[in-house]
Amino acid sequence: AGTPAAAQQIAVAAAADLQAVFPEVAARFERETGRKVALTFGSSGNFFAQVQNGAPFDLFFSADIEYPRRLQAAGLAESGSLYEYATGRLVLWSRKDSGIDAARGLMILADPRVRRVAIANPEHAPYGRAAVAALRHETVYDAVRGKLVLGENISQAAQFAQSGNADAGILALSLALMPALRDTGTVYRIPDAFYPPIVQGAVVLAASRQKEAARQFLRFVERPDIQQLMREYGFAPAADLR
Amino acid sequence: MSPEGPHRALAGSIQKRLSPGFALDVQVSAPAGITIVFGESGSGKTTLLRCLAGLDRPDAGRIVVGERVLFDSPSGCNVSARDRGVGFVFQQLALFPHLSVRDNIRYGLHRLSPEVRAERTRAVAESFRIDHLLDRKPSAVSGGERQRTALARALVTDPDLLLLDEPLSALDHATQSRIMADLRAWNTAHAIPILYVTHAHREVFALGERVMVLDAGRVLAEGTTHDVMEAPAHEPLAQLAGFENFFDGAVVARRPDAGTMQCRLAQAGIPLEVPLSHATEGEAVRIAIRAGDILLANQEPRGLSARNILRGRVRSLTREGPTVRADVDAGAAFAVHLTPGACESLRLEEADEVWLIIKTHSCRLVEPSGALS
Amino acid sequence: MSPEGPHRALAGSIQKRLSPGFALDVQVSAPAGITIVFGESGSGKTTLLRCLAGLDRPDAGRIVVGERVLFDSPSGCNVSARDRGVGFVFQQLALFPHLSVRDNIRYGLHRLSPEVRAERTRAVAESFRIDHLLDRKPSAVSGGERQRTALARALVTDPDLLLLDEPLSALDHATQSRIMADLRAWNTAHAIPILYVTHAHREVFALGERVMVLDAGRVLAEGTTHDVMEAPAHEPLAQLAGFENFFDGAVVARRPDAGTMQCRLAQAGIPLEVPLSHATEGEAVRIAIRAGDILLANQEPRGLSARNILRGRVRSLTREGPTVRADVDAGAAFAVHLTPGACESLRLEEADEVWLIIKTHSCRLVEPSGALS
Amino acid sequence: MDYSAILLSVKLAAVVAAILLGVGLPIAYWLTFSRWRWKFLAEAVVALPLVLPPTVLGFYVLVAIGARSPVGRLWTSWTGHGLAFTFEGLVIASVLYSLPFAVQPIAAAFSQVDASLIEASSTLGASERRTFFRIILPLSLEGVIAGAVLAFAHTIGEFGVVLMVGGNLPGATRTVSIAIYDSVQALDYAAANRTALLLLAFSFVVLALVYGLRRKPLVAI
Amino acid sequence: MDYSAILLSVKLAAVVAAILLGVGLPIAYWLTFSRWRWKFLAEAVVALPLVLPPTVLGFYVLVAIGARSPVGRLWTSWTGHGLAFTFEGLVIASVLYSLPFAVQPIAAAFSQVDASLIEASSTLGASERRTFFRIILPLSLEGVIAGAVLAFAHTIGEFGVVLMVGGNLPGATRTVSIAIYDSVQALDYAAANRTALLLLAFSFVVLALVYGLRRKPLVAI
Ligand SMILES: Nc1ncnc2c1ncn2[C@@H]1O[C@H](COP(=O)(O)OP(=O)(O)OP(=O)(O)O)[C@@H](O)[C@H]1O
Ligand SMILES: Nc1ncnc2c1ncn2[C@@H]1O[C@H](COP(=O)(O)OP(=O)(O)OP(=O)(O)O)[C@@H](O)[C@H]1O
Ligand SMILES: [Mg+2]
Ligand SMILES: [Mg+2]
């Protein structure tokens, strides 16, 4: 990462749920600044481990604010750079041909016709934790518990539901808005109050050699027009819930 | 129904091209009993056996054992090796390396009851003197023991046709003789056709009622051991049959009434009386004489019926296995075999003057090499 | 420095246990030249060769070729097979199946320049008549051709010691004779020790200056071919050497001045004059007579120096390879070999009355089987 | 520590290895001894599952056995429940994915068996079946062991396919590889290390037993 | 379509297969011919990398060669840049992970070579090296091909280890398997299918070439 050409480019590690929106964000940034942005999507847990071992990223947009926080505490992220750039939102999604109308809310999951419910793994995925909280909130958790199948991440949970192997899935709104799901399923927006906010945080990494450019991108994401774009893709601005 | 009857005989015609330089093209017929397949290295003996066993597919031909058609190219019939009921001893043995000698032997007996298997295995192992090796792997027995194992493995299955590719080549004479006796006894009891490939004259005479001689993929001669080996028609055959003396000559006079002809050898003009043939006077002939058919005397013999008596001088005496070979110069060079006893009783020494006594009927007229092919 | 000198000789003592039932324990010494290793199947010939070549490690012993120690158990010296400079023809050939005949032959020549390799390969292939097969894989040549390839592969490397395990067993007599002549010429040119395992008497007499006879892992006899094969000390050795007649007898009278003893055979009390030995009067002896050393006459012979003349009757006449075997009942059963020529000139028929003529010195006194081991 | 996950993995790997031997031996046999001209194309196809990332292969399998596929429907009509997220589904996916590991070494070993031994067997009246079980298979033992070990170990370690088809159900489809992965993702490295160590130790013992107890390499004649 | 990812994968797989042949042949040779009593333990160790989930193995490799490890620091002091998240790092991780796929079939093939041919070679004065290259290796060709194919195909398809050690950096360590994975994760199935199909087609051609062009199976004498 030492060549001048590479110096022009900001390497961004981004949580998997940003896969829909970030290419657009990066494109706009490039258009405005002429700086290229290299996006890498993946599991936040993996990024955390990689950053600890010297991954050459300038910025880390995590799906879970816990990871950037820890990086900052360990001195691996620039102190004070932590920024809550968005909040994830949950939906209940079901295939149109499954005979289950997701719009009827989480209670439908207790229906015996619903045999499998896909969520992300609550052990390490924020959307999974939120899904469990929402189920608890609606007091269907005990009824649904035995029906849960766990995806490694929220994307995989979506694949379970979308392929029809799970009758319903508790997914990220950002995914439900993607054409593959939007056109084929029924959706229920789970109220924000049912689960603790899925606050997503970003940091500039301490090892970055172009911190100024990294900060610039971070500020760019803060801009109202970009936040609006994020909203269109299913994210709430972090400030909304604070 | 006599067990020797033609109903168990092998009859076949096989054509098979192996390389641009070699093609097998033979008619083979073998009654019950041992037929020796004889021929120089590379003459196609193994190929013939492989075709009969169904391991190689002939390009064309037909193979019948008894009433059973094993292969017939026009009709596309081709019985698989495993259903041919053929016992095969491979030249390279092909013992199963991971099985004990016992398991090798009883491998082909899987359709029989355990008791019968055990009994047959025991019996054949005993008769081939490998019963003390039954639990060893083939890698832990000697070359000759391996050969006996391979033979036992093929014989024990009671095949309808037995194909043996030099089965005794790695054995000492005593063991060979014992196994040949076993084989003869087996043959009497089973009366199936046996093709037996060998290079050893010893085995030819000891075992074979019939001989089939191959040369360059063709049948050079076929018939009883006596006819083929004693009266060979061609020089190559004569060489294979162990004739050592070959001479060019010309017919001087025919004596149809006596059944003889007078010839003159090209070398030194030696006169020789030979059996009558179709050759006309003046025609060139080729004469073959077996070294063992010539008698040696250390004084001029008198009053003998033999018409050919030549004077010569011993050039050298060499011991060759059980016989002594004398090279005698009698105008032409003659090789003569004697027993060591005869050699001693004649008190033969090199450079001695001797007389060669050659019976008329020991002189065979053969087609010279060139006339063939 | 004569090439026959002891400086190139092989000397060794080898002990090796293969199984509870078999152990090799031999002293071996072989000067430059061909030493035949002879012995029945399973007697340890291959094991001996493998130890010499460094393929098996003796339990104890010492192996020296010329001045060079190849193995010495006390000092722990054990030169690896590849550094022993030994040429080995395996009984099972062990040709490399993925290499052409040419590449097999030149495999051992990797240290030479390409021209020398090519030339040597060409020369040896020509002399073994496999030059037309050079481009084929071993699987596409005949058994005898494979054997010639294996021999060529070992000879071409110019070894310091040559170990041949039945190298000609799959060849016809004519090819055998040609290769034996080549081998004798090669031997003259190279003057290294050659150990040559064979079961064929033919090869023993044609090639060997010296013979070493193994039996059950021990050296039964050793010496010049003549001494070992003509005057065997034991009955087993005599059997291996091709003696066919064995008789029990007892000494009747010793005649030290004549160098003879008068004996009487246990069967039918037949009197027989034999060479003098240490046996005392009345002592039991075992007498061996080679079938080829007995002369047959069809009328009572007169004025012969031979002292043993027995009257008998022909029981059967059998053709055996190049000789005829007559079984004669002369009180005891005698096997007699004649040449076919002699047989015909005597006009022998079964049941004819004949006289057996046995020279005193054709009767060998041997230790009976039981006396051994 | 998640012992049930370890047990499940071992069970899965054993079942998969056993099935792969059952399926892999005939395939390897055909690949080795068939004289079909275009056989090499089939050989290439056998190796193909390998080049797909496991999760992607898993995704395709998920679609193929899913409720909407004919296979899935057939299975559901038989058993009353879907294939996905069941042990059976895991087995199918793992068998597919590990097939090349079993077939390739076995086929390679078969092709090294001396053809003359096969000929000898047939002249002794043995059926193809008997020749296979008594001659070809024992002489290829090393290759068969290699294939079985690769299939077994690989199934223990595989998690992409398993995750995709299994759905991480504790006790049913949560294998030890997923458990370790989850611990790593949850940044619980200590737990991950413990489980990994246990798994390694166990696997080591199993493999050492396999290698230690197998027969000595054979020497051909 | 991400051609650079395909290229990268092919390059990685080729380099890894080549290295695995270089490393795997001696290891397989030792495993086959060594007379060490405890050899079977070493055989078990060789198969061990397989039983760990790839991402977990990748995680351990990352820690082992990462910026904070001695290996990583040494490498950085030599080359000026880290080992993790580079092509070299990918190579190391993949070699480790695919080692058993190369070693096992090769060792199995070696053990089937007729011992008397090795003896014959040594009596002809050949060094161990020459015997290996001229006799053992060619006679084990099928097994070596199987090992190389498994290593190659497996490296193409592997993504757990590569993801962890490589970090999915476009152009540098984003292999085609990760690219397909990304497409599936982004629910862009059309893109995933296109890339997967292309990859399958390409791999099929490569494998068919390998199998079609290899020499006929040899028949031992
Ligand atoms: N690996 C082994 N383990 C146990 N016994 C063996 C082993 N190899 C050979 N033997 C036995 O040792 C004896 C000698 O074997 P060797 O191969 O040296 O005999 P040979 O004289 O070469 O016989 P042949 O003429 O039949 O080849 C035989 O009885 C054989 O059964
Ligand atoms: N697969 C093959 N391809 C081409 N030529 C072959 C093949 N197999 C054998 N030959 C050739 O065919 C001829 C006959 O071979 P075959 O093995 O039948 O001879 P043979 O009579 O058994 O000889 P031997 O006594 O040496 O065993 C030989 O010249 C040999 O070189
Ligand atoms: Mg042959
Ligand atoms: Mg031997």
What mean pLDDT, rounded, does chain E reach?
A: 85
Cα B241 to ligand 4 centre (Å): 29
CATH number of the domain where residue C316 is located: 2.40.50.100
The answer to whether residue D115 is domain-embedded is yes
Q: Are B224 and B232 in contact (CB under 8 A)?
A: no
Residue B55, classified by CB atoms within 10 Å of its CB into exposed (0-12), middle (13-18) or buried (19+), is buried
Cα C106 to ligand 4 centre (Å): 25
Let me know whether B176 and B123 are in one domain: yes
Last residue of a domain, one of C183, C218, C239: C239
Nearest CA distance, E19 vs chain C (angstrom): 26
Residue C76, pLDDT > 60, answer yes
The answer to whether residue C132 is domain-embedded is yes
Beta bridge partners of C218: C215
Let me know whether C195 and C294 are in one domain: no
Give start and end residues of each alpha helix (H) in B45-113. Answer: 45-53, 101-105
Which range has highest mean pLDDT (B176-180, B364-368, C1-5, D129-133)?
D129-133
Let me know whether B252 and B343 are in one domain: yes
Least confident span in B45-49, B61-65, B353-357 = B353-357
Find the CB nearest A178 among E69, E163, E187. E187
The answer to whether residue E136 is domain-embedded is yes
Contacting chains of C (3 CB pairs or more, <8 Å) are B, E
Nearest to A115 by CA among A138, A148, A142: A148
Residue B370, pLDDT > 80, answer no
Task: Mark which residues 108-137 of B lie under 8 Å from D by CB.
Answer: 108, 110-111
Let me know whether B200 and B258 are in one domain: no
Cα B144 to ligand 1 centre (Å): 9
DSSP E117-177: HHHHHHHTT--HHHHIIIIIHHHTHHHHHHHHHHHHHHHHH--HHHHHHH---TTTT--HH
In this structure, what token pair is assigned to residue A121? 């793994």
Q: Is D45 on the interface with B (CB under 8 A)?
A: no
Tell the residue nearest (CA) to atom 18 of ligand 2.
B44
Let me know whether B166 and B19 are in one domain: yes
pLDDT band at C305 (very low <50, low <70, confident <90, very high): low
pLDDT band at E4 (very low <50, low <70, confident <90, very high): confident
pLDDT of residue D182: 83
pLDDT band at C309 (very low <50, low <70, confident <90, very high): confident
The answer to whether residue B70 is domain-embedded is yes
Nearest to D126 by CA among B80, E125, E74, E7: B80
The answer to whether residue B252 is domain-embedded is yes
Q: Are B93 and B148 in contact (CB under 8 A)?
A: no
Cα B94 to ligand 3 centre (Å): 14
- Choose one of B26, B40, B47, B168 to mutate for the ligand 2 pocket test, by most ligand atoms within 8 angstroms of C-beta: B47
Let me know whether B122 and B156 are in one domain: yes
**Which residue matches tokens 């120690």?**
C69
Beta bridge partners of D168: none
Domain encompassing residue D83:
3-215
The number of folded domains in chain E is 1
Beta bridge partners of A168: A117
Summarize pLDDT for B48-63 with one digit per residue, the tens. Answer: 999 999 999 999 999 9
Let me know whether B167 and B200 are in one domain: yes
Q: How many B-D residue pairs are in contact by the CB < 8 A criterion?
A: 70
Residue B235, pLDDT > 80, answer yes
What mean pLDDT, rounded, does chain C reach?
A: 87
pLDDT of residue A239: 60
Summarize pLDDT for C170-214 with one digit per residue, the tens. Answer: 888 888 888 888 888 888 888 899 999 988 887 888 887 899 999
Q: What is the mean pLDDT of residues B163-171?
A: 89
Q: What is the mean pLDDT of residues B70-83?
A: 93
Beta bridge partners of B364: B288
CATH number of the domain where residue E172 is located: 1.10.3720.10
Let me know whether C17 and C39 are in one domain: yes
Q: What is the mean pLDDT of residues D140-144?
A: 90
Let me know whether B217 and B257 are in one domain: no
> Closest ligand 1 atom, CA of B143?
27
Summarize pLDDT for A192-241 with one digit per residue, the tens. Answer: 999 999 999 999 999 888 889 999 999 999 899 999 999 999 898 776 54
The answer to whether residue D221 is domain-embedded is no
Q: Is A69 on the interface with D (CB under 8 A)?
A: no
Let me know whether C230 and C329 are in one domain: no
The number of folded domains in chain C is 2
Residue E216, pLDDT > 90, answer no
Q: How many A-D residue pairs are in contact by the CB < 8 A criterion?
A: 72
Put residue B223 in one of left, alpha, beta given phi > 0 → left and psi -120 to 50 → alpha. Answer: left
Summarize pLDDT for D93-136 with one digit per residue, the tens. Answer: 899 888 988 998 999 899 989 999 999 999 999 999 999 999 99
Which range has highest mean pLDDT (C131-135, D202-206, E153-157)?
C131-135
Least confident span in E55-64, E88-97, E113-122 = E55-64
The answer to whether residue E221 is domain-embedded is no
pLDDT band at E24 (very low <50, low <70, confident <90, very high): very high
pLDDT of residue A80: 83
Residue E216 CA to chain centroid, in angstroms? 24
pLDDT band at D215 (very low <50, low <70, confident <90, very high): low
Q: How many alpha carbons fall within 13 Å on the CB side of residue B218?
A: 5
Establish whether residue C19 lines the binding site of ligand 1, counting it when its CB lies within 6 angstroms of any ligand atom. yes
Inter-residue long-range contacts of D22-28, CB under 8 Å, 24+ positions, other chains counted: D23/D95, D23/D99, D23/D102, D24/D99, D24/D102, D24/D103, D24/D106, D24/D147, D24/D151, D25/D106, D25/D137, D25/D144, D27/D99, D27/D103, D27/D107, D28/D102, D28/D103, D28/D106, D28/D107, D28/D110, D28/D147
DSSP B90: B
Residues of C in contact with B290 (CB under 8 A): 322, 340-341
The answer to whether residue B68 is domain-embedded is yes
Let me know whether B66 and B207 are in one domain: yes
CATH number of the domain where residue C183 is located: 3.40.50.300
The answer to whether residue C135 is domain-embedded is yes
The answer to whether residue B168 is domain-embedded is yes
Cα separation, C131 vs C141, in Å, equals 12
The answer to whether residue D220 is domain-embedded is no
Cα separation, C212 vs C30, in Å, equals 9
Last residue of a domain, one of B215, B239, B263: B239
Domain encompassing residue C256:
244-366
Q: Count of CB atoms within 10 A of residue E35's CB?
A: 5
Q: Are C340 and B289 in contact (CB under 8 A)?
A: no
The answer to whether residue C134 is domain-embedded is yes
Nearest-by-CA chain A residue for D84? A165
pLDDT of residue C2: 40
Establish whether residue C18 lines the binding site of ligand 1, counting it when its CB lies within 6 angstroms of any ligand atom. yes
Find the CB nearest D212 among E40, E157, E220. E40
Radius of gyration over alpha carbons of chain C, in Å? 24
Summarize pLDDT for A73-120 with one digit per residue, the tens. Answer: 988 898 888 888 889 899 999 988 888 888 888 888 988 888 889 999
Residue B372, pLDDT > 50, answer no
Contact assignment for B91 to C170 by CB distance below 8 Å: yes
Let me know whether B86 and B224 are in one domain: yes
Packing angle between helix E87-111 and helix D141-157, nearest 10 degrees? 150
